[in-house]
Amino acid sequence: MPRILFVAMPGSVHSARWISHLRDTEFDVQLFPCHAAGNHPLLAGVRVHFGSLLIRGSLFLIGKLAELDRRRSGRRRRVPSCFKRAFWLAWTIRLVKPDIVHSLEFQCAGYLVTEAKKRLGSRMPPWIATIWGSDIYLFGRLRSHTARIKELLQACDYYSCECERDVILARQFGFSGRVLPVLPNAGGLDVPEEVALQARERASTRKLIAIKGYQHWAGRALTALRAVELCADALRDYRIVVFSANADVEIAVELLAQSTGLAVEVVPPSSHEDMLALFARSRVFVGLSISDGISTSMVEAMALGAFPIQSCTACADEWLTDGVTGIIVPPEDAVAVSDAIRIAASDDKLVDEAQITNAQVAASRLNPERIREQVLATYREIIAARM
């Protein structure tokens, strides 16, 4: 039975969705978490190494591997604690003997596999390195990460990403291996029947505007709220909902409601199905960040009929025709975002025609079964090439 060892964040829904492609197939799927965390429910049934064998034998293994390392170097040295997980991973690969090692994300999982490969040398199986979101686009511009990204891309055999933009960037960083098909990291979109029915309502009849509430190192929700303030006169008939908001954004929402009199509110943490239902009721979706891959919320919103206003840093141009099926904006330009919201809130023809086209794009590019077939075919091809 062909075996794939994933190195990934165990609590991430993106990890879980990707790994679930291999459920009920011929593959033996196992997971080495790149950090200590609880497992996502979708990973039920997947053998997870860290926390069982490796924890029970960690002290023994670290001691043995440290001794081996000292013998090779010809001198005594203390094993840095930050490399302990790389030792555990290298030992797991020796023990499990996977046909493929697949790391999901660079800065946690990918860097870890890079260190493990140094210890394994020729015993390292083929390695697929997948990036998420900002792994190269943003971190590749930071001095503390540039050299590590180059080292990773020169060490891995296969590379996968969800934006054509990131194929070009990987080549610029020195990757010379094979690029795998560009596919959404979150997998396809399986819409519940009742949500699909709701999504057929014309966008022009909807009175809801959904705003992504991330405000952090990448998210720029506060810019979106400032934009709403600038076009408040055009939004009197709308309800504005902010999802995934942190404390700073919650305060800004409350103050915005007071200063403008608009119906602005924060949506409490919701299930994925509830979020899809929200998009199916929304006329406009606004998502801003200084860096991203595919914005999963953007493609979900466009699939469900909401007119997307998305920052230019999220590969939106690979999914949207600017000014036709969505509007692409600078992430920190509140005036430009305000102008876009004003257009989307008033132009019925624009949002209705975009709804039709975007639904077709989503049906083609987010079909879960089609994506699953491509994923499985890729793994089978890589394993066949080893034989």
Q: Could you tell me the CATH number of the domain that includes residue 361?
A: 3.40.50.2000
Cα–Cα dist 100/382, whole Å? 8
Residue 44, token pair as written in the block:
């039920």
Domain count, the chain: 2
Q: Are residues 219 and 312 in the same domain?
A: yes
Q: Which residues pair with 5 in a beta bridge?
A: 30, 101
Q: Are residues 176 and 77 in the same domain?
A: yes
Cα–Cα dist 45/48, whole Å? 9
Q: Are residues 250 and 354 in the same domain?
A: yes
Query: Which among 135, 105, 100, 97 is positioned nearest to 33, based on CA atoms?
Result: 105
Per-residue pLDDT of the chain (387 residues), as tens digits, is: 899 999 999 999 999 999 999 999 999 999 999 887 788 888 888 999 864 444 444 434 444 554 555 555 444 333 333 488 899 999 999 999 999 999 999 999 999 999 999 999 999 999 999 999 899 999 999 999 999 999 999 999 999 999 999 999 999 999 999 999 999 998 899 999 999 999 999 999 999 999 999 999 999 999 999 999 999 999 999 999 999 999 999 999 999 999 999 999 999 999 999 999 999 999 999 999 999 999 999 999 999 999 999 999 989 999 999 999 999 999 999 999 999 999 999 999 999 999 999 999 999 999 999 999 999 999 999 999 987
Indicate the DSSP class of residue 280.
H
Q: Are residues 287 and 326 in the same domain?
A: yes
Helix, strand or coil for residue 291? coil
- Residue 260 Cα to chain centre, angstroms: 34
Q: Which residues contact 290 (CB under 8 A, 6 or more apart)?
A: 138, 218, 220, 311, 313, 331, 332
Cβ contact 174:153 at 8 Å = yes
CA distances from 287 to 204, 205, 342 (A): 20, 21, 15
Domain that holds residue 289: 193-365
Cα–Cα dist 103/112, whole Å? 9
Q: Are residues 173 and 210 in the same domain?
A: no
* CA distance from start to end of the chain: 13
At residue 40, what is the residue type? H
Cα–Cα dist 252/244, whole Å? 14
Q: Are residues 345 and 379 in the same domain?
A: no
Cα–Cα dist 213/118, whole Å? 40
Q: Are residues 25 and 119 in the same domain?
A: yes
Query: Which among 134, 135, 126, 86 is positioned nearest to 106, based on CA atoms?
Result: 135
Cβ contact 294:184 at 8 Å = yes
Q: Are residues 12 and 61 in the same domain?
A: yes
Q: Are residues 324 and 221 in the same domain?
A: yes
Q: Are residues 379 and 342 in the same domain?
A: no
Q: Are residues 160 and 113 in the same domain?
A: yes
Q: Are residues 260 and 278 in the same domain?
A: yes
